[in-house]
Structure 1
């Protein structure tokens, strides 16, 4: 049965979890943010970029790896969000946007949330074990970053930096899964991805800045304030240049640069239309980074092929 009073504020009123999922499963799905899939996309896209970048010239990326990384991104994003909700359970009840989350609203207990976290991590481990040893060890190391992020807002105004470290790790892991090693191109992509996350999650954080001040947590939205647009110019310039450099090092062809012009235009439009005091617009712009990421993915895949003369 649909319960409008349980729809979390930043989820679509027509999200599939509230519309169709069984009542007993809905709290667990919401712990994993399945009612808000944009985070899974933002975690997955750097993985797909890297897998596509590592593909041989003239070939499509490994579709099986696309499938495995998609499942992995879904469960590990869910695990990270569950851990975040466990860590923030005392804060979330004080914030309008988060008070309906399963833990502060009492839909699940702390023990149930911990069990759900463990189950998701187990599935993630099974996915990771499908790759080569180097990728397995590299993937295991990412758990340190996943564990740090939920607590970063307590001690730094740069929690988005720690989110970037975790959310873009797939730029390294995707390449490692294909190649069994790490080279300069995916490292540059990873560093650029951190800047991308600093940009889009600062936009997202402007939704909560008033509540963050009241409860005493930190964010780049609070640090940058009215200068946010200038910081975004820097962050988005970094991701754009980093992607161009990664493509160049990987030997991508002219179609890559043509599509990247469209990706750059998308970032420019985000900055041009930003209003940090309009929470609805901030959410729309944040979600639009899925479009940017998909344009980049198409650019990389197209760049593996030469234009016919």
Structure 2
């Protein structure tokens, strides 16, 4: 198999700790464990160099297997994983990180995220302090969060003295999160979008379809390009090789200001996923 080396087409951003993350990555949410290695292999062949997984996805082993067998140097692939809700807390975070590294069969991780704030557990501060310890050991390059609101971020920063490098949140045209993105920009936090295509729901929108026809691209490519021009890090997922390649081919066209405005106007504040303020799956009742 041949892996593309011309990854300079993918722009990167410098995170607030000085590390660098590609702006376009490959997500494996809901990719079955048995399909993860093949999907990641396809993504690496196309040219993706950033892979996002999580302990709760149960596919870390397949991700690690694909990266090891790719023939790429470890430092050519940016790997992200996330700590699940049930493992929040200082000591349990240390154990969970060890388990993730065993599943990946890797010596270090590029980015480790708290998957959800889970305010009902009130453990995210201790969790982040454990992640700071892991980072100080050189086992993870950067630490951040996922699904945190402004209030969650303010508390974490205030009580740990460290600003997360990135917040991965649900973000798509129907949930553009302009206020949260503005807060991120003010504090040097990168915005990363999960469900960037609205889990497929946005692809049938007539406005998106019209713009896709204007620029001669697919609706998915138009939405991914919208994310990139907003400044988001974006991690579309697919298990279909042709769509994996299509989603990567977004650097040879641009949307106009008017087209960007039309897509942003689709924002209704509608979530597809849980509310971070109340989500508590994984906690013992």
Give me the TM-score of the superposition, normalised by structure 1.
Answer: 0.25
Give me the TM-score of the superposition, normalised by structure 2.
Answer: 0.26
In proportion to residue count, which structure has more strand?
Answer: 2
In proportion to residue count, which structure has more helix?
Answer: 1
- Name the larger-Rg structure: 1
